[in-house]
């Protein structure tokens, strides 16, 4: 589960929102248990410590007349239920491996609507959630004015063994908007706007010694996903155009500080950097690669590296970006991927034919030769540089000509007109 992409099927049926992307991966088993233990020692939440030591493997545990879990550790709840005499559950917004997300009325805040993530009553998911809470608390203290496009935690609490985290209620994820729009690409003006906010937010994380490690379209949400609908007679279908492309980054369940243990595998498959696949170690630059993959997906409407096999993934990279540098191949611990100093790959095999059919050199994906398109592809190419040491930094990315084609100060961005 840690190494493959989670299911992208949303479960919110009645609303134009989908919040299971808030932290789909926050309960993934690849989080280091050592890292969780270290973090928990630093915390002083004794009420959490006592609950986390319980055994939670028996099924359908009824702890009181009103609090019960199902077979998978989810809290059993109903519309109208109240948590902490404050949060009134309205409906389920989504579900993931970590638990469920519900829309609630916050009766302590003038009836404001919030998204409440209810973590499964299972040790490993609770530990990961507490790590996320710590990160979110730190980010909130560092960004009190909400100048950066990172989701803000409003509250958190332990509810009979379920860690619950309240967030501002946002719109659809960028992936779900693509999906509901028949995977039509975003307009390049919207890509520029979203890219600037994403890069600026991730740069903020990096400046504070934090790597997100799981950037993907599912973890980037629109603040408001309202849209205009227009009929396309050529395609014989309705197509949606966003009213406002402002976004926020979510899911800090796998975010890692520089000083913390770095697990060998990070990122969802399609957005995973080559140094991670080759087991060369990773740093902030793995986020930069992920952002490059996200931007090309916004441009194409589809994932660039559609595979679930590491060697095939590397072969796709070579098809799109050229040969992997010899110095990286020489250093890899994954010797089974290498033969005579090159990627051990047969282009005439069935997998080789699949790669040739589904991948082509990066510039061949350009749908228009206009200046904005050329600058976007130059930016993406530099973000997807194989060697992390040569990969574009996010400081450099913000100064790229792609963003100087228009005045960034004119763009409506999250909480700030400050360009950096």
Fold of 20-168: Phosphorylase Kinase; domain 1 (3.30.200)
pLDDT > 70: percent of the chain: 80
Q: Which CATH number fits domain 174-410: 1.20.120.530, 1.10.510.10, 3.40.1410.10, 1.10.3720.10?
A: 1.10.510.10
Average pLDDT over residues 250-271: 94
Does the pLDDT value for residue 419 go beyond 60?
Answer: no
- Give the pLDDT band of residue 404 (cuts 50, 70, 90): confident
Residue 99 DSSP SS3? strand
Residue 154 DSSP SS3? strand
Give per-residue pLDDT as tens, 143-186: 999 999 999 999 999 999 999 999 999 999 999 999 999 999 99
β-pairing verdict for 227-232 and 112-119 = unpaired
Does the pLDDT value for residue 331 go beyond 80?
Answer: yes
345: Cβ contacts below 8 Å, ≥ 6 apart: 311, 314, 315, 318, 352
Average pLDDT over residues 362-390: 96
- Tokens encoding 273: 């950097």
Pairwise CA distance, residues 159 & 119, whole Å: 10
Query: Cα angle at 29 between 20 and 296, to 5 degrees?
Result: 55
Average pLDDT over residues 69-83: 93
- Tokens encoding 17: 């929102």
- Give the pLDDT band of residue 26 (cuts 50, 70, 90): very low
Q: Is 214 one of the annotated active-site residues of the chain?
A: yes
Burial 370-395 (b: 16+ CB within 10 A, else e): eebbebbbebbbbbbbbebeebbebe
Range name among 102-111, 228-237, 345-354 with the lowest pLDDT average: 228-237
pLDDT > 90: percent of the chain: 74
Average confidence score pLDDT of the chain? 85
Q: Are 286 and 211 in contact (CB under 8 A)?
A: yes
Q: What is the pLDDT of residue 31?
A: 43
Q: Are 227 and 102 in contact (CB under 8 A)?
A: no
Choose the catalytic residue: 214, 246, 251, 287: 214
Pairwise CA distance, residues 167 & 221, whole Å: 12
Domain definitions of the chain by residue range: 20-168, 174-410
Q: Are 209 and 256 in contact (CB under 8 A)?
A: no
Q: Could you give the count of Cα atoms lying within 13 Å of 380 in the half-sphere of its Cβ?
A: 27
Q: What is the pLDDT of residue 7?
A: 41
Residue 65 DSSP SS3? coil
Q: What is the pLDDT of residue 49?
A: 43
Query: Cα angle at 153 between 151 and 154, to 5 degrees?
Result: 130
Pairwise CA distance, residues 343 & 351, whole Å: 14
Residue 294 sits at φ, ψ, to 5 deg, of: -65, -45
Pairwise CA distance, residues 290 & 268, whole Å: 9
Q: 120: annotated binding-site residue? A: no
- Give the pLDDT band of residue 406 (cuts 50, 70, 90): low
Q: What is the pLDDT of residue 39?
A: 52
Give per-residue pLDDT as tens, 186-218: 999 999 999 999 999 999 999 999 999 999 999
Q: What is the pLDDT of residue 24?
A: 39
- Tokens encoding 137: 């608390």
């Amino acid at each position: 589960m840690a190494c493959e992409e989670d299911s992208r099927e949303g479960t919110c049926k009645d609303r134009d929102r989908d919040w299971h992307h808030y932290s789909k991966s926050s309960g993934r088993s690849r989080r280091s248990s050592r890292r969780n233990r270290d973090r928990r020692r630093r915390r002083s939440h004794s009420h959490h410590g006592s609950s986390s030591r319980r055994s939670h493997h028996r099924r359908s545990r009824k702890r009181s007349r009103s609090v019960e879990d199902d077979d998978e550790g989810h809290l059993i709840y109903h519309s109208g239920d109240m948590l902490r005499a404050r949060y009134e559950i309205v409906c389920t917004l989504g579900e993931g491996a970590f638990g469920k997300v519900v829309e609630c009325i916050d009766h302590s805040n003038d009836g404001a609507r919030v998204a409440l993530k209810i973590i499964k009553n299972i040790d490993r998911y609770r530990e990961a959630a507490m790590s996320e809470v710590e990160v979110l608390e730190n980010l909130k203290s560092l960004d009190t004015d909400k100048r950066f496009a990172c989701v803000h935690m409003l509250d958190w609490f332990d509810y009979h063994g379920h860690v619950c985290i309240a967030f501002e209620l946002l719109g659809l994820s960028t992936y779900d908007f693509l999906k509901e729009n028949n995977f039509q690409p975003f307009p390049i003006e919207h890509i520029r706007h979203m890219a600037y906010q994403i890069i600026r937010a991730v740069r903020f994380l990096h400046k504070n010694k934090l790597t997100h490690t799981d950037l993907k379209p599912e973890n980037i949400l629109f603040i408001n996903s309202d849209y205009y609908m227009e009929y396309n007679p050529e395609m014989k279908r309705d197509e949606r155009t966003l009213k406002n492309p402002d976004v926020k980054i979510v899911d800090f369940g796998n975010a890692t500080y520089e000083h913390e243990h770095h697990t060998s595998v990070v990122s969802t498959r399609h957005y995973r950097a080559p140094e991670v696949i080759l087991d060369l170690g990773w740093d902030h630059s793995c986020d930069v690669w992920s952002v490059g993959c996200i931007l090309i997906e916004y441009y194409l409407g589809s994932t660039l590296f559609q595979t679930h096999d590491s060697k095939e993934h590397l072969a796709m990279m070579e098809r799109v970006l050229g040969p992997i540098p010899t110095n990286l191949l020489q250093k890899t611990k994954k010797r089974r991927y290498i033969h005579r100093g090159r990627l051990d790959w047969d282009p005439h095999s069935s997998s080789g034919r699949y790669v040739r059919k589904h991948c082509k050199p990066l510039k061949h994906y350009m749908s228009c030769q206009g200046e904005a398109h050329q600058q976007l592809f130059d930016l993406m190419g530099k973000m997807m540089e194989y060697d992390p040491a040569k990969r574009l930094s996010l400081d450099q990315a913000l100064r790229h000509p792609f963003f100087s084609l228009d005045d960034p100060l004119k763009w409506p961005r999250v909480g700030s007109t400050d360009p950096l």
